A = this chain, B = another copy of it.
Amino acid sequence: MGERILRMGMVGGGRDAFIGAVHRAAACLDGRVAFVAGALSATPAKAIASGNDLGLEDRRNYGTWAQMLEGELALPLEERIDFVAIVTPNDMHFPVAEAFAKAGIHVVCDKPLVHSSVQAQSLMQIVREVDIVFAVTYNYSGYPMVKQARQMVGDGDLGDIRKIIVEYHQGWLAEKLETTGQKQAQWRTDPARAGIGGAIGDIGSHAEHLVSYVTGLEVEAICADLTSFVPGRRLDDDANLLIRYTNGARGVLCASQVCIGSENDLRLRVWGTKGGLEWKQEEPNHLVFKPAAAPERIYRRGNQYVCQTAARSTRLPSGHPEAFMEAFANIYNAVGQAIRSGAGADGGSTFDYPDVRDGARGVYFIERTIASGASEQKWTDAKWTSIPS
């Protein structure tokens, strides 16, 4: 209420893109962000046309992200974008994020953060030095009932965590869609653009973050089995991992894009010494808690008994379902609060959004998974420290 309306710029997200429109709608859902500038495609003409579609002012409808950076920096501070949302294919995340960050413009970047831990380390250092807000859209952590799960684990309702199964199954790449002209499939299966991970990078990284967000556990070692089922595909389209966590917990992580009939089936189960819990992204408004020796309990979003963090992330009363868009918007709201409060590089923990460290850890997770699943498949150390040597 009465908060300053933030000015958002966007790189990527033009015609043919998918996630850009989600970012725009999510950022603006509560009316506290205005979308005012963009370089919406790598092809300048397409960028301009896309900006016209969306009603950008001509002077802030840029042909390239470099022009956008230059143009915005030339504007007085009270007009300039407060933050940039980077929603390009993965290969452009690093150069764009690096440039805007160095210029002191806050960044919201899609996942996976960058292509390598080297890039990630570099970016972390810049963010720390320039002290900007930098968020990575691990959007599933924006769901209220995921926040409820995190709270319950943190409160010790499950006891010591023993076992975690996280799955992210999709089926849309079960056939060779990348040769049909489908843009989303094209870049996601192209190592030059997507990076070294296929399914493990595109969606496995969400699964990794979800576990980290809910349980706070750290990965110690990984044993991965990676497959490219569709003939001729160069990246994995199916990944199954055994995971050991530093506290002794054991995990299974599955990510696949060839599971026909699975739409966007991210689900998490966690068991501890005192109980278990279960959450499914496709039915996100409730959380199942299974205490020892007592009836299973269904926590539903919007009720008075949910924790404050979950309550603050909710717009509608119980039974009026919220979904993907609202969860995504919760990330943007947290970012907005961090920016308004001048939080800087450490805003993520205070304002509850995934930050550059989460992004860097995710990149490392992908690297270690690929290392484990490569020719000599075996258990591989995967413990992340913010500055791996």
Contact = CB atoms under 8 A, between A and B. Distances in A.
A24 B31 CA distance: 9
Contacts of A300: 263, 295-296
A1 B325 CA distance: 20
Contacts of A346: none
A258 B238 CA distance: 28
Contacts of A325: 315-316, 322-323, 325-326
Nearest to A304: B293
Contacts of A258: 162-163, 271
Interface string A1-39: 110010000000000001001101100111100010000
A238 B295 contact: no
B263 A318 contact: yes
Interface centre among A250, A263, A274, A281, by most chain B C-beta atoms within 10 angstroms, is A263
Contact of A242 (B242, B264, B323): B242
A214 B75 CA distance: 53
A91 interface: no
A282 B296 CA distance: 15
A265 interface: yes
Interface in A249-304: 250-252, 254, 256, 258-265, 271-276, 281-285, 289-300, 302-304
Nearest to A274: B260
A319 B170 contact: yes
Contacts of A351: none
Nearest to A32: B55
A74 to B, nearest CB: 26
A253 to B, nearest CB: 10
A321 interface: yes
A234 to B, nearest CB: 17
A73 interface: no
B250 A225 contact: yes
Contacts of A274: 260
A94 interface: no
A192 interface: no
Contacts of A315: 21, 25, 325
B302 A263 contact: yes
B316 A293 contact: no
Given A53-B1, A254-B165, A261 B291 contact: yes
Contact of A319 (B31, B265, B289): B265
A290 B320 CA distance: 18
Given A298-B298, A377-B379, A276 B25 contact: no
16 contacts: A2-B52, A21-B315, A24-B31, A25-B31, A29-B29, A162-B238, A163-B258, A259-B276, A262-B271, A262-B276, A264-B320, A265-B319, A295-B303, A296-B300, A297-B297, A315-B325
